[in-house]
């Protein structure tokens, strides 16, 4: 009996037109009495720029543009899709319904037999969505799945808080997975710890047409850093063991692009050179669920990532949630 794998057939990425360098943001913040500097931002995060969506641009709009690139690379159309899974913490609609995945389905013109739903695991969202898609394909339920990570985090940032407002940006990334007899996604691992939910969250709640509490992102930076470094090392070793691979057999580490120091720490603990890490955080900051597929697409389109290579994808975010995947690209 032939095993069925989920193979990456195409990737795509999209960043909004508005690009803000650190200096651009420094000048914006100075106008509201908030002081920071390019040196302060780069030293702590490795970020040099980020992209913000236009006022009339929705999360679904970013996702559609990334999806179109991935579909083109995969040599298929939206009519070929069986399922759309979209990871996001910033959906088009309050309460998350209708799901942004359903909006994307409509905007892509995908047929109505195509299922669609959102996944919410913040910065780990893409690894969660990828693992779900892989399970559907392996069981024979679906043959072609569009997996998306898309965010408009600029809309939940408190620009009075320089510790968070300089770190995040907007964007979308996409992957088309298809059923294949050839190895593709070799292993996945997902985890969560709800007891740590308060260190990175949006604490407000919808109430009677308004918001009770803050609608802005809040973060305990040191606590997040400490936990992220710990769990990323653990899940990386776990997924490698599942795939029966050793760290030295990984050609590229494609991590969540949150902070260059976290990526450097993870690579060091894995015994990997930074030359084997796909780094895009300097250009678009932390785009949450979009960051891994954006980095993956950048690596593919630059020619760094080649067919047949082993990739380790990993991400960690609010929830607290984290996950990883090993892919033979």
What's residue 3's pLDDT?
73
Q: Could you report the per-residue pLDDT of 30-70, keeping only the tens digit for each? A: 999 999 999 999 999 999 999 999 999 999 999 999 999 99
The pTM score is 0.96
Indicate if the pLDDT at residue 1 is higher than 70.
no
CA 138 vs CA 25, 118, 241: distances in Å: 45, 20, 20
Q: Is 90 exceeded by the pLDDT of residue 208?
A: no
Residue 247 has pLDDT above 60, yes or no: yes
Percentage of residues in the chain having pLDDT higher than 70: 99
pLDDT digits (tens, 9 = 90+) for 112-161: 889 999 999 999 999 999 999 999 999 999 999 999 999 999 999 999 99
CA distances from 141 to 116, 138, 294 (A): 14, 8, 27
Strands 310-317 and 321-328: antiparallel
**Cα–Cα distance for residue pair 226/266, rounded to 1 Å:** 12
The pLDDT tens digits of the residues spanning 271-298 come to: 999 999 999 999 999 999 999 999 999 9
Q: Determine the straight-line distance between the first and last CA of the chain, rounded to whole angstroms.
A: 23
pLDDT exceeds 90 at position 210: no
Tally of CB atoms within 10 A around 142: 19
In the chain, the percentage of residues whose pLDDT exceeds 90 is: 94
Peptide bond preceding 147 in cis form (omega within 30 of 0): no
Residue 277 dihedral angles phi and psi, to the nearest 5°: -115, 130
The DSSP-derived string for 190-223 is: EEE-GGGGGGEE---EEETTEEES--S-EE-HHH
Average pLDDT over the chain reads: 96
72-108 pLDDT tens trace: 999 999 999 999 999 999 999 988 899 999 999 999 9
Q: Is 71 left (phi over 0), alpha (psi -120 to 50) or beta?
A: alpha
| pLDDT surpassing 70 at residue 2 | no
Q: What residues are labeled active site? A: 123, 256, 286
- Average pLDDT (209-234) is 93
């Amino acid at each position: 009996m032939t095993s069925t794998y989920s193979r990456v057939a195409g990737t795509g990425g999209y960043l909004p037109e508005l690009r803000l360098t650190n200096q651009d943001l420094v000048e914006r913040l100075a106008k509201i009495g908030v002081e920071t500097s390019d040196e302060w931002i780069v030293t702590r995060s490795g970020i040099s720029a980020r992209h913000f969506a236009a006022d009339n641009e929705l999360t679904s709009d970013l996702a559609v543009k990334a999806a179109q690139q991935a579909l083109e690379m995969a040599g298929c159309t939206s009519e070929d899709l069986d399922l759309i899974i979209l990871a996001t913490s910033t959906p088009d609609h309050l309460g998350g319904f209708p799901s942004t995945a359903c909006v994307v389905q409509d905007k892509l013109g995908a047929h109505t037999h195509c299922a669609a739903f959102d996944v919410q695991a913040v910065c780990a969202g893409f690894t969660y969505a990828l693992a779900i898609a892989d399970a559907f394909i392996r069981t024979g339920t679906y043959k072609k799945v569009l997996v998306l990570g898309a965010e408009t985090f600029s809309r939940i940032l408190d620009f009075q808080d320089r510790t968070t407002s300089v770190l995040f940006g907007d964007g979308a990334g996409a992957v088309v997975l298809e059923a294949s007899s050839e190895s593709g996604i070799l292993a996945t691992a997902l985890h969560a710890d709800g007891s740590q939910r308060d260190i990175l969250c949006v604490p407000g709640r919808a109430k009677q047409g308004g918001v009770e509490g803050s609608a802005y992102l809040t973060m305990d930076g040191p606590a997040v850093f400490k936990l992220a470094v710990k769990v990323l090392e653990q899940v990386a070793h776990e997924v490698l063991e599942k795939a029966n691979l050793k760290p030295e057999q990984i050609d590229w580490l494609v991590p969540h692009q949150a902070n260059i120091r976290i990526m450097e720490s993870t690579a060091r603990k894995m015994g990997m050179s930074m030359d084997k890490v796909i780094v895009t955080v300097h250009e678009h900051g932390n785009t949450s669920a979009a960051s891994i597929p954006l980095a993956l697409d950048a690596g593919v389109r630059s020619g760094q990532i080649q067919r047949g290579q082993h990739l380790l994808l990993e991400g960690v975010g609010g929830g607290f949630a984290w996950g990883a995947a090993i892919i033979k690209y």
